[in-house]
Amino acid sequence: MSNLSLKIVKLLTSKGLTVSLAESCTGGLLSSSITSHSGSSKMFDMGLVTYSNNSKVKLLKVPKKTISKHGAVSYETCLSMVENLSKISKSNISISITGVAGPNGGTKEKPIGLVYIGLKKGRKIIIKKNLFKSKKRISIQKATVNQALKMILNIL
């Protein structure tokens, strides 16, 4: 994971690009994986941990209606998170993460390991639905971070 994040820090820095993150179920792990590298301050703008629905609404301006209709763990919430983060931060790349990391909280419709990752670069928006098989919280969080890093790499 750290080799991938180091590669991204170097790539974004060399291209003069910035990144901002809005994390829920990863609780800042993606931000930590990037900022653990020297020089990341040149490319890392902000990392918000919007864990509660309230913080998604207050900080990221996710409409309450979106959360009540689709749930916090949904394509629609992830999309709203990444679009609004992009407006707030003005970063070149914005990432949003929302999911069920477990070991509790899963349902038949939204099982443990369901994670949505949103990426916005310019006008391009990608929302990726993931279903990580592990039932261990830290494994799901690490897999999510790894997937988000790969998405950033792929758009560069």
The pLDDT tens digits along the chain (156 residues) read 579 999 999 999 999 999 999 999 999 999 999 999 999 999 999 999 999 999 999 999 999 999 999 999 999 999 999 999 999 999 999 999 999 999 998 999 999 999 999 999 999 999 999 999 998 999 999 999 999 999 999 999
Q: What sign does the dihedral 22-42-14-32 (CA atoms) show? A: negative
Range of 15's domain? 2-155
Whether 139 and 132 have beta carbons less than 8 Å apart is answered as: yes
The CATH number that applies at residue 144 is: 3.90.950.20
How many domains are there within the chain?
1
Which pTM was predicted?
Answer: 0.97
